[in-house]
């Protein structure tokens, strides 16, 4: 059989996109757009104006949602997640000055934070700036942050902008309920000098991709759990580029030497013993993807987050912000 022409990949993806579906088919058919008491609230922020290299992440939320209609409501371990009330709140940004919209986006996210597990889909990583501000404002207790990313994103400015996707973690570290001491970086392998210096100055915990390859992801997960076991809130910020480009080619900066999809899933599923109250997943760029590999990897990571919520719900443990 001859190899598929790249244009055929585009045609197949386009044909799937054109199949009409209703919103209730999103999230494996578990989306309840009119749900009052949701377990999980999903927000899309389709913005990539902060991308410092290649754009395309603005198409991430729509593509992930569309493909979510093609998966079954069953976890890889066999459990159904149909008992989860998932409410997709739609997109919080369409066009215009994104920075000027920060306050409005924060207000919209804040309405759900203390009532449901919040999941934000980007967009480039700069979209989390107003989201983390909302989490900070609504939290009554300190927050542990697990920042899963190939890059540290700790520049105070990059290419002349403080709102580049190279800067979001620097903004978060300035918020009251977050702190460098309660933040761990996972999968890091590309450091700007400003980020390297910030990490050293604040003695931040960083599990590089190199260390994870040497020690194994289960050992890293165990260390994170021990570190965060006394906290009331744990939040995950996940950049799809933490994955090696073999598993996620469709992203702005596909940095080689990264984690496998299995490693990230294993880490997330191990965290169900912690009060994980929300997450964001960013930098999926469908125009740069091949056969939707990256979008489907993102979906698998999202269902791992669903697994965490499901386990905590079954054990009657909290999964919303305190």
pLDDT at 8 exceeding the cut of 50: no
Q: What confidence category does residue 13 fall into, taking pLDDT thresholds of 50, 70 and 90?
A: low
pLDDT in tens, 62-89: 999 999 999 999 999 999 999 999 999 9
Q: For residues 190 and 82, what is the distance between their CA atoms, to the nearest angstrom?
A: 39
Question: Is position 18 within any domain?
Answer: no
**pLDDT band at 4, cuts 50/70/90?**
very low
Percent of the chain with pLDDT over 70: 91
Residue 3 pLDDT exceeds 50:
no
* Structure tokens that stand for 23 in this block: 């919103």
Cα–Cα distance, 194 to 209 (Å, whole number): 19
Q: Classify the C-alpha dihedral 136-83-298-207 as positive or negative.
A: positive
The confidence band for 59, taking pLDDT boundaries of 50, 70 and 90, is very high
Distance CA 108, CA 102 (A): 10
pLDDT at 98: 87
Residue 310 lies in a domain: yes
DSSP annotation of 92 reads S
pLDDT surpassing 90 at residue 233: yes
User: What is the domain range of residue 268?
Assistant: 30-314
How does pLDDT run across 237-294, given as a tens digit for each residue?
999 999 999 999 999 999 999 999 999 999 999 999 999 999 999 999 999 999 999 9
According to DSSP, the residues that pair with 208 across neighbouring strands are 188
Give domain status of residue 181, yes or no.
yes
Q: How far is CA 173 from the centre of its chain?
A: 18
CATH number for the domain spanning 114: value is: 3.40.800.10
319 part of a folded domain: no
Report if residue 118 sits inside a domain: yes
Flag whether 20 is in a domain.
Answer: no
Domain annotation covers residue 25: no
Q: How confident is the model at residue 5 (pLDDT cuts 50, 70, 90)?
A: very low
Instruction: List all residues 6 or more positions away from 305 whose beta carbon is below 8 Å from its beta carbon.
Output: 117, 119, 236, 268, 276, 279
The alpha carbon torsion through 222, 226, 230, 234 (nearest 10 deg) reads -40
* Segment 153-160 long-range contacts (CB within 8 Å, at least 24 positions apart): 153/125, 153/195, 153/239, 154/192, 154/194, 154/195, 154/198, 154/199, 155/192, 155/194, 155/195, 156/194, 158/52, 158/192, 159/52
> What is residue 96's predicted lDDT score, i.e. its pLDDT?
79
Count structural domains, the chain.
1
| 43 inside domain | yes
User: Helix or strand or coil: residue 204?
Assistant: coil
Q: What average pLDDT is seen over the chain?
A: 92
């Amino acid at each position: 059989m001859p190899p598929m022409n790249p244009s055929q990949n585009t045609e197949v993806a386009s044909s799937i996109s054109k199949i009409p579906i209703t919103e209730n088919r999103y999230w494996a058919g578990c989306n309840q757009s009119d749900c009052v008491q949701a377990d999980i609230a999903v927000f899309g922020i389709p913005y990539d104006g902060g991308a410092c290299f290649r754009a395309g992440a603005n198409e991430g939320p729509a593509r992930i949602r569309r493909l979510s209609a093609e998966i079954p409501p069953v976890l890889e371990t066999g459990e159904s997640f149909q008992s989860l009330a998932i409410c997709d709140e739609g997109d919080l940004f369409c066009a215009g000055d994104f920075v000027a919209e920060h306050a409005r986006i924060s207000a919209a996210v804040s309405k759900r934070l203390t009532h449901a597990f919040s999941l934000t889909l980007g967009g480039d990583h700069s979209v989390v700036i107003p989201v983390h501000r909302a989490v900070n404002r609504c939290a009554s207790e300190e927050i542990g942050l697990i920042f899963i990313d190939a890059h540290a994103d700790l520049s105070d400015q990059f290419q002349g902008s403080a709102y580049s996707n190279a800067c979001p973690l620097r903004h978060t570290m300035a918020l009251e309920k977050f702190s460098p001491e309660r933040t761990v970086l996972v999968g890091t392998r590309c450091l700007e000098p400003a980020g390297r210096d910030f990490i050293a100055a604040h003695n931040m915990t960083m599990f590089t991709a190199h260390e994870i390859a040497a020690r194994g992801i289960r050992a890293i997960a165990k260390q994170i759990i021990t570190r965060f076991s006394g906290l009331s809130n744990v939040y995950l910020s996940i950049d799809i580029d933490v994955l090696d480009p073999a598993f996620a080619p469709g992203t702005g900066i596909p940095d080689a030497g990264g984690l496998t999809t299995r490693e990230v899933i294993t880490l997330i599923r191990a965290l169900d013993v912690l009060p994980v109250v929300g997450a964001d997943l960013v930098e999926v760029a469908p125009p740069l993807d091949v056969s939707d590999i990256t979008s489907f990897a993102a979906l698998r990571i999202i269902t791992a987050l669903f697994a965490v919520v499901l386990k905590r719900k079954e054990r009657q443990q909290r999964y919303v912000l305190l």
